[in-house]
Amino acid sequence: MKVIAFNGSPRKKWNTATLLEKALEGASSKGAETELIHLYDLNYKGCISCFSCKMKSGKNYGRCAVKDDLTPIFEKIPDAQALLFGSPIYLGTATGQMRSFMERLVFPFLPYTDPPESIFPGKIKTGFIYTLGATEEMAKEIGCDHHISTTEMILKWIFGASETLCSYDTYQFEDYSKVVASRFDPEKKAQVRREVFPLDCAKAFEMGARLAGNDEG
């Protein structure tokens, strides 16, 4: 069994990547083979509306026809037991790199039928980890919860199951004295980093273990 994680952050060694690595450790603890893919290393665009994935009897029905760095990755997904996604929140949503990836991943499995039913071949578990520099209260004020709940709904619809972990008030800068960020209290940020982020890491580990487990919950 294999669990594949996709890092939608431009950073490879910060909050989002750390939580994804912890989730993969959890999956490994259940015997899963794991892989972490950094989306910012890849060359691709979002959906180009060619609609090849919707053409009757077309050779690309149900799959993305665009050939780029995502092509070999998409070939791996039907054989995975679980998929993990991770992204910081930028302007109320996941990063542009993650959004483009999700367009390309999801749209081929979303038919224009009534009722619309996923044509993904089988059911796999999914999980999404978000990191936010904002507190939970700030995130709600700008509507992040709508994006997060919508993405979870789509993942459940297409793949069969999904869960979400949000890590709030994350430590964004190594040295807050060097940046203009007067809205945040550096001491409070450091306290959250020491006391709360390790708990989020433990939750990520547990998520990975659940996704790699054989239970249906």
Q: Are 16 and 87 in contact (CB under 8 A)?
A: yes
Question: What count of other Cβ atoms lies within 10 Å of the Cβ of residue 52?
Answer: 16
β-bridge pairing 82-90 and 93-94: antiparallel
Query: Biggest alpha carbon distance in the chain?
Result: 60
Three-state SS at 185: coil
Which tens digits make up the pLDDT trace of 155-195?
999 999 999 999 998 988 888 888 888 888 888 888 888 89
pLDDT at 217: 44
Write down the residue that tokens 């919860």 correspond to: 145
> In the predicted model, what is the mean pLDDT of residues 60-83?
93
Distance between CA 80 and CA 57 in Å, rounded? 26
Q: Spell out where the chain has E strands.
A: 2-7, 33-38, 82-90, 93-94, 124-131, 160-167
Q: Which long-range contacts (CB under 8 A, 24 or more apart) does 107-111 make?
A: 107/47, 107/53, 107/64, 108/53, 108/60, 108/62, 108/63, 108/64, 109/62, 109/158, 110/158, 111/54
DSSP string, 38-56: EGGGS---S-----GGGST
Which tens digits make up the pLDDT trace of 200-217?
999 999 999 999 987 544
β-bridge pairing 2-7 and 160-167: unpaired
Closest CA to 161 of 130, 128, 129, 131: 128
Enter the DSSP assignment of 79. G
Closest CA to 90 of 147, 47, 19, 171: 147
> In the predicted model, what is the mean pLDDT of residues 40-59?
92
The domain locations on the chain are 2-212
High-pLDDT (> 70) share of the chain, %: 99
CATH fold of 2-212 reads Rossmann fold (3.40.50)
Residue type, 125: K
Three-state SS at 83: strand
pLDDT at 103: 96
Both tokens of residue 47? 């959906």
Which tens digits make up the pLDDT trace of 3-16?
999 999 999 989 99
> In the predicted model, what is the mean pLDDT of residues 141-159?
91
Q: Global pTM?
A: 0.91
pLDDT at 124: 93
